[in-house]
Every structure is written in structure tokens, then in C-alpha cells.
């Protein structure tokens, strides 16, 4: 259990992330867990105002012995954000995590779904929630949203006449994302079936079952992941299918169809172009695979190599 001083600081930091930086609930929970682990590591007398650089280094070194480089990197990001907040609020004079290098994690490319698999997800079996679930899939894939952005949408954020979504992304940065025709039609059908909500601030995606007289419950990211998994199982898609994989698919398919990288950056809400550039490597790898399967010279070279390997 973290000390009272640490717990108060963590709660204030979490409120800051929610109100001023629009961090997702998933990220906020992960950061709070990392900070409580630091407090436990430092012992019962831990005070965030007295943490030294050596304390942070020891905590990260201990984490590195047990955890992956990516997880330790996230912990360092949580510490930097937390202590930076304490410095800005006047609770500390200096940030003890400043200058500490992040561990080098292996760079993993996004794993988009094939176009046909995305189409199958939209055509999965029907049930009482099918209109909502179809709209959810079409918006995730058709607009490339983060799952937290999707769940935060209100009715007033949807403009079906113009075919646009008004999205509040990371860092409270707003963007307007166009909706393809299939997503507009799925949303129109979903909203026609559920006329219980009228106010612009009512949530867009809500739970189907609700108590009599109770306000509709907004879907959370866990609900969205469950819906997507269920639809993926219904059509027999292999591997893990989750909302962020649809976002990867959206970006990769746009790039494959010739969209400009800067335009994709704006649509995804990336602050840095380097984040978007990952998809160029994915497209290049997919192009090479297609070449190896389809080009007659590639097939001939592959056959010759196989013949040389035979005894």
C-alpha cells in the first residue's frame, strides 16, 4: 500500500490527466499502478516530494530485471509525467526522472487485418445488438478511431448530413474525421432503431440492456473490445482482433490506396509524422509479399533456390 502522501499525489495527478490531458481510463490506471509500485518499492516512509534520482534509477533497474523493455519504458513515461506535474504545481523543485534514458525496445510493426477480414467483421451474424455493433465496427474501421475516442463520442459529435465526426483525441486535440458511406448508413440505421436519446450530450454508443427508467449507459473500451472479439469469433477470424488493430488496418489500407502520409497523420490525430511513418514499412512488407507470391520472376527464383537446396 502506498503512503498517504503518495496516494494523495497520485489521485491529484490522475484528476489532472483526466481533466486537462484527456488521457484514456486505461492509460490512467496503468500510470497509477506504476506510481503505486514506486511507492511500495521505496517503503513506508516514501514521499513524492523527497524522491531522488537514485531512487528512480533503482526502481527502474529492479523493474528491468523482471519486465520487458516496453513495460519499463511505460513506467518511465509515467514517472516523467508525474514528477513533471509535481514540478509545475510547485510541489517539487526538480524532476528526479529527468535525463534517464528509456530502455531500447524492439520496434514492432503494426499488424493490420486484410481488407476481406474487415469486410467480414461488418457482415458478422445478427442479434438484438446487431445495429449498434455494426455501427461500432464501421466507425472504428471507417474513421480509424482509438477505442477511447469512439466510446467518448456523443450524439452531437456526429454530423450525418456532412458525413463527419468531431473527435476529441489525445491531449484534448480536436479533429474532424470523414465518415465513409457504409459507416454513415450503419450509424443512421442504429440511431433510427434507438430513439430514446435526443440531447446532443447523450452518449452515441450505449449498452442495449438497461433498467427501466435508467439513463442509457455509455459503452466503455472494455465493452467495445468484447463486441469486436465476439464478431471476430462469429466469422472465424484467426488471431487477436481488437479495436487498435482496426485502426492499424484503416491507416494501412488508406496508404495502400495512395493516400498522402500527411493526410493520414491528420486523420489519425498523430502529433508526430514519425508515428504515422510506421505504416509505410507495413505497406512495403505487404508489397514484397505480394510480389513474391505473384510475380513470375519471383516464383522462378524461389523454385531455383529450392532446387539448389535439395540433395
Positions marked active-site: 146, 170, 244, 247, 270, 279
Residue 181 cell numbers, joined: 458511406
**For residue 137, with 0-12 CB atoms within 10 Å meaning exposed, 13-18 middle and 19 or more buried, which class applies?**
buried
Distance CA 23, CA 15 (A): 10
Beta pairing partners, 178: 164
Amino acid at each position: 500500500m502506498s503512503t498517504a502522501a503518495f496516494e494523495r499525489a497520485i489521485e491529484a495527478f490522475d484528476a489532472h490527466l483526466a481533466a486537462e490531458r484527456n488521457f484514456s481510463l486505461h492509460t490512467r490506471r496503468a500510470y497509477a499502478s506504476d506510481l503505486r509500485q514506486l511507492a511500495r518499492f521505496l517503503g513506508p516512509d516514501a514521499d513524492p516530494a523527497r524522491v531522488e534520482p537514485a531512487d528512480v534509477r533503482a526502481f527502474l533497474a529492479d523493474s528491468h530485471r523482471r519486465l520487458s523493455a516496453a513495460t519499463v519504458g511505460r513506467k518511465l513515461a509515467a514517472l516523467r509525467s508525474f514528477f513533471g506535474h509535481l514540478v509545475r504545481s510547485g510541489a517539487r523543485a526538480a524532476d528526479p526522472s529527468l535525463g534517464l534514458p528509456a530502455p531500447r525496445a524492439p520496434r514492432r510493426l503494426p499488424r493490420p487485418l486484410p481488407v476481406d477480414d474487415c469486410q467480414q467483421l461488418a457482415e458478422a451474424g445478427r442479434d438484438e445488438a446487431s445495429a449498434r455493433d455494426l455501427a461500432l465496427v464501421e466507425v472504428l474501421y471507417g474513421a480509424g478511431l482509438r477505442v477511447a475516442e469512439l466510446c467518448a463520442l456523443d450524439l452531437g459529435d456526429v454530423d450525418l448530413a456532412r458525413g463527419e465526426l468531431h473527435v476529441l483525441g489525445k491531449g484534448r486535440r480536436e479533429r474532424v474525421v470523414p465518415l465513409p458511406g457504409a459507416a454513415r448508413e450503419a450509424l443512421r440505421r442504429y440511431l433510427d432503431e434507438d430513439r430514446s436519446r435526443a440531447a446532443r450530450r447523450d452518449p452515441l454508443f450505449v449498452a442495449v440492456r438497461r433498467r427501466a427508467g435508467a439513463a442509457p449507459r455509455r459503452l466503455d473500451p472494455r465493452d467495445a473490445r468484447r463486441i469486436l472479439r465476439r464478431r471476430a469469433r462469429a466469422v472465424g477470424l484467426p488471431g487477436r482482433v481488437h479495436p487498435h488493430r482496426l485502426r492499424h488496418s484503416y491507416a494501412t489500407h488508406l496508404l495502400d490506396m495512395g493516400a498522402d502520409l500527411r493526410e493520414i497523420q491528420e486523420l489519425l490525430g498523430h502529433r508526430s509524422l514519425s508515428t504515422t511513418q510506421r505504416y509505410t514499412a507495413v505497406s512495403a512488407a505487404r508489397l514484397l509479399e505480394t510480389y513474391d507470391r505473384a510475380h513470375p520472376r519471383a516464383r522462378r527464383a524461389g523454385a531455383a533456390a529450392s532446387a539448389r537446396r535439395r540433395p
